[in-house]
Amino acid sequence: MTDTNTTPQGETELAQLITEALGSDVHTEQLETLLETHSTADLTRAIAMLEEEQRGQLIDQVSAETAADLVEQLPIVQAIQLLEEAQPEQAAAVVDALPSDLQADLLSDLEKLDAEAILRHMQPEEADDARRLAEYDEYEAGGLMVTEFLRFPDHWTVHQLVRELEDNAEKYRDYQIQYAYVCGSQGELIGVLRLRDLLLGDRKRSLSQIMIPNPLAVPDHMGLDELHGFFQQHHFLGVPVVDDEKRLVGVLQRTDVDQAWIEQQDRSYLKSQGIVRGEEIRSMPLRERVGGRLSWLSINVFLNLMAATIISYFEPTLVEAIALTAFLPIISDMSGCSGNQAVAVSIRELMLGLAKPQDLLRVWLQEISVGCINGLSLGLLLGGIAWVWKGNAVLGFVVGIALCLNTMVAVSIGGLVPLILRRFGKDPAVGSGPLLTTVTDMCGFFLVLSIATWFLDYL
């Protein structure tokens, strides 16, 4: 349990109340009330304080509907923890009650054995739909879409459609409805209906007469970057999703794309900082957290040894020109900063669809132009400081030219590596950082020490 001295009192009290209500059928109603009457933020932090066994009891001890409402509110990594600890029968009932897009996200992120155990206890039709959606990548249209939407054949009349909605109001009540869609005999999307036209239109007219034909749609395998760009250009609340045969397979909500976009940025940032799983939270098992971080840190040990090897090779130069040691970390750090700026711009352009992996030459030319100017400016600045500080013009020249050249190397790497990683299907945020740091360190040390070696007699 979390120390109450470091935790807001209200959340600690809520965690204690939940703990007291767990493990006794008598307090089930009290537990459900706690879950239904507290804010998402309070529940998220309170649940993080529970022991592993208690999190499993939390799902098992309340109704599937209450548990589903809770799971829908929580961060997905915390929702997965609850489902993994719950009994498969109860977990299946909870997943059954969730929207299709969230079902797919949870099942694809669960351990394979846990996911299969849940699917075996779900209703066959729901399980088949969930398996199909789970095959999509979580950050493409098919993985983000919902399959609960209004779809009707083109030969229906307005009267038939309205009657269908009235007769099945209970079924459609939980649907996120902005539009209804009209499909042909093979399920192909041919039109979209505004609800206003249905309510105010002539009930005798067919749907094909009042629909908006040839609506915009996105393919089911469109990636998140392109989807984000699509909604930046088109101010829709939702858009239909079609497969390769133009059959309507789902509806994508703008809010889901925006949320996925934010989640991806968060995961990318965490991965860039060495949190390999990208969704680590502190209530995860210690072994998983240590393993994820240690693998990253171990790699960095060997990468830094490569930079140390260069310094060792030029040890005689350092002995003769000890003043250089003060400028090595400055050159390495300044070049790294320039490279990180280039990385950030490339990743942003990839996310917005403004750059693609095949744009290597264009991106490099744009970056090297910035690198030349910035490198020359920074080189003159640092070289002048070195001259004034140490009273040696040659030392200033060595330091300045090394920083200038290394800045150009850094922006080239920073601009190109994200595109190259994306071409090979890797996350640019994960690989760009260590590659940039290692190369700029090695190049910076090599440039300073090799140039200094040439001018050693004047240092």
- How far apart, in whole angstroms, are the C-alpha atoms of residue 212 and residue 170? 27
154: domain CATH number?
3.10.580.10
Report which of residues 88 and 306 the model is more confident about: 88
Among the listed residues 185, 434, 421, the one whose alpha carbon sits nearest the alpha carbon of residue 303:
434
Please, which residues have CB within 8 angstroms of residue 343's CB and are 6 or more apart in sequence?
414, 415, 417, 418, 428, 432, 433, 436
- Tell me, yes or no, whether 154 and 131 share the same domain: no
The share of the chain scoring above pLDDT 70, in percent, equals: 85
Residue 272 in domain: no
Burial of 419 per CB tally in 10 Å (0-12, 13-18, 19+): buried
pLDDT over 60 at 306, yes or no: yes
Q: DSSP character for 25? A: G
- How far apart, in whole angstroms, are the C-alpha atoms of residue 167 and residue 395? 86
- Tell me, yes or no, whether 160 and 211 share the same domain: yes
The mean of the pLDDT values for the chain is 81
- Tell me, yes or no, whether 163 and 125 share the same domain: no
238-242 vs 218-219, strand pairing mode: parallel
Among the listed residues 28, 86, 27, 80, the one whose alpha carbon sits nearest the alpha carbon of residue 54:
86
- Tell me, yes or no, whether 130 and 228 share the same domain: no
Alpha helices per DSSP H over 284-327 = 286-313, 315-320
Report which of residues 13 and 450 the model is more confident about: 450
- The residue range of the domain holding 42 is 4-135
Res 290: pLDDT: 64
Read off the pLDDT of each residue in 444-453 and give the average, rounded to a whole number: 88
Residue 403 in domain: yes
The most confident of 104-113, 189-198, 392-401, 434-443, by mean pLDDT: 392-401
- Tell me, yes or no, whether 439 and 397 share the same domain: yes
Residue 105 in domain: yes
- Tell me, yes or no, whether 297 and 419 share the same domain: yes
For 312-350, the pLDDT digits (tens) are 888 888 777 888 888 888 988 888 889 888 988 888 788
How many domains are there within the chain?
Answer: 3
- Tell me, yes or no, whether 442 and 306 share the same domain: yes
- Tell me, yes or no, whether 191 and 328 share the same domain: no
Domain boundary among 208, 232, 253: 253
Res 291: pLDDT: 62
Report which of residues 279 and 220 the model is more confident about: 220
Main-chain dihedrals φ then ψ at residue 251, nearest 5 degrees: -130, 135
Q: What is the 3-state secondary structure (H, E, C) of 239-263?
A: EEEECCCCEEEEEEEHHHHHHHHHH
Domain boundary among 109, 135, 161: 135
Question: Which of these ranges, 192-196, 214-218, 247-251, has the smallest mean pLDDT?
Answer: 192-196
Domain boundary among 253, 274, 306: 253
Residue 276 in domain: no
